[in-house]
């Protein structure tokens, strides 16, 4: 097997490795649980371009270093983001940053290569959205998934279409409106994961088996099949015509929430207390 590491430095937010027909993109901020901040998203987008432009690459594998797949959006610099000046076009910089992730997920879905997400540990918020945007997702026992945005005053705006497309509207409602966290078995049951590996030590081997089946298919046929699926499911029109407008509006909504309820929500989460909008529930007799 030929293995080569790409030009992306090992200390970058993303590490890329080309192995024969597989182009692996590894989230590489394990010390911070692989947050999806601007640097990570830019690095992911650049890696995706590299994978698409590599003729030998037949499948794109997305993994993550460390114990967590991705904790989601980076709120560690919230004060800095709230105080950032408007962009050159007068657009809210928070909305612009949020919208960037939607662009990346849209490109990932429409990539002509088969995209596989292999998940260990927690995939929350935008991290779970990344899993949902892959063509095929495989995860090990011990993986956790959830959409905690509303619980801290935010909205899952950029990821919502991709999550609903994978697990259906009702499952998306349940998870996004309750903030419930689910394990790998439940994620497999509702379709967030296509494959559930009960022994975490076997995840790499099972992922390699899956990739072998993918690259055994003709590359042109695989790309054409993806396009046909988009057309049949109505996704092609959704991506090309309606999705950008939705993502623009969702980014504005995200920015409004970050500048309002999320200030209290994030403070409460960091202080390990209930936010001021959470009432006490009196038990029924």
pLDDT (tens digit per residue) in 40-58: 999 999 999 999 999 999 9
Q: Would you call 112 helix, strand, or coil by DSSP?
A: coil
Q: 182-197 in b/e burial notation, b at 16+ Cβ within 10 A?
A: bebebbbebebbbbbb
In a domain, 106, yes or no: yes
pTM: 0.92
Q: What share of the chain is helix, strand, coil (3-state, %, to 5)?
A: 50, 15, 35
Average pLDDT, the chain: 91
In a domain, 281, yes or no: no
- What does the pLDDT average to over 241-253? 90
The domain of 44 spans 3-271
In a domain, 14, yes or no: yes
Q: In the block, which residue shows the tokens 């292999």? A: 118
Distances from the Cα of 155 to the Cαs of 54, 202, 279, in angstroms? Answer: 35, 35, 20
Q: How many domains does the chain have?
A: 1
Tell me if 13 sits within 8 A of 66, measured CB to CB: no
In a domain, 282, yes or no: no
- Residue 61: which of 205, 199, 211 has the closest Cα? 211
In a domain, 276, yes or no: no
Q: 136-153 in b/e burial notation, b at 16+ Cβ within 10 A?
A: bbbbbebbbbbbbbbbbb
Given its phi and psi angles, is residue 15 left (phi above 0), alpha (psi -120 to 50 degrees) or beta?
beta
- Euclidean distance between CA atoms 167 and 177, whole angstroms: 15
Q: Find the farthest-apart pair of alpha carbons in the chain and give their distance in angstroms, rounded.
A: 67
In a domain, 183, yes or no: yes
In a domain, 278, yes or no: no
Residues contacting 221, CB < 8 A, separation 6+: none
- What does the pLDDT average to over 19-25? 96
The helices-and-strands tally (H runs, E runs) of the chain is 12, 10
* pLDDT top residue among 205 and 237: 205
pLDDT in tens, 1-21: 455 555 444 458 999 999 999
Tell me if 116 sits within 8 A of 214, measured CB to CB: yes
pLDDT in tens, 138-160: 999 999 999 999 999 999 999 99
In a domain, 279, yes or no: no
Most confident by average pLDDT, 6-10, 211-215, 232-236? 211-215
- Residue 62: which of 75, 82, 47, 78 has the closest Cα? 47
Q: 220-230 in b/e burial notation, b at 16+ Cβ within 10 A?
A: eebeeebeeeb
The CATH number of whichever domain residue 180 belongs to comes to 3.90.226.10
């Amino acid at each position: 097997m030929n293995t080569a590491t790409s030009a992306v430095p090992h200390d970058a937010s993303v590490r890329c490795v080309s192995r024969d027909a597989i182009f692996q993109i590894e989230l590489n901020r394990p010390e911070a649980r692989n947050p999806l901040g601007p640097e990570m998203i830019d690095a992911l987008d650049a890696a995706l371009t590299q994978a698409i432009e590599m003729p030998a690459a037949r499948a794109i594998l997305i993994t993550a270093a460390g114990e967590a797949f991705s904790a989601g959006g980076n709120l560690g610099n919230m004060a800095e983001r709230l105080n950032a000046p408007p962009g050159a076009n007068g657009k809210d910089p928070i909305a612009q940053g949020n919208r960037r992730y939607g662009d990346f997920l849209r490109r990932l879905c429409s990539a002509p290569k088969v995209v596989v997400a292999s998940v260990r540990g927690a995939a929350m918020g935008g991290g779970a959205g990344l899993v949902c945007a892959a063509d095929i997702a495989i995860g090990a026992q011990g993986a956790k998934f959830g959409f905690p945005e509303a619980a801290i005053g935010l909205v899952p705006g950029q990821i919502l279409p991709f999550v609903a497309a994978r697990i259906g509207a009702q499952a998306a409602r349940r998870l996004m409106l309750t903030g419930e966290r689910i394990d790998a078995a439940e994620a497999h049951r509702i379709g967030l994961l296509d494959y559930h590996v009960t022994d975490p030590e076997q995840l790499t081997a099972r992922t390699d088996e899956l990739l072998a089946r993918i690259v055994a298919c003709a590359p042109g046929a695989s790309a054409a099949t993806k396009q046909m699926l988009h057309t049949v499911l109505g996704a092609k029109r959704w991506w090309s015509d309606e999705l950008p407008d939705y993502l623009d509006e969702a980014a504005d909504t995200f920015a409004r929430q970050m500048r309002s309820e999320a200030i209290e929500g994030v403070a409460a989460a960091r202080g390990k207390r209930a936010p001021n909008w959470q009432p006490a529930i009196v038990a029924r007799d």
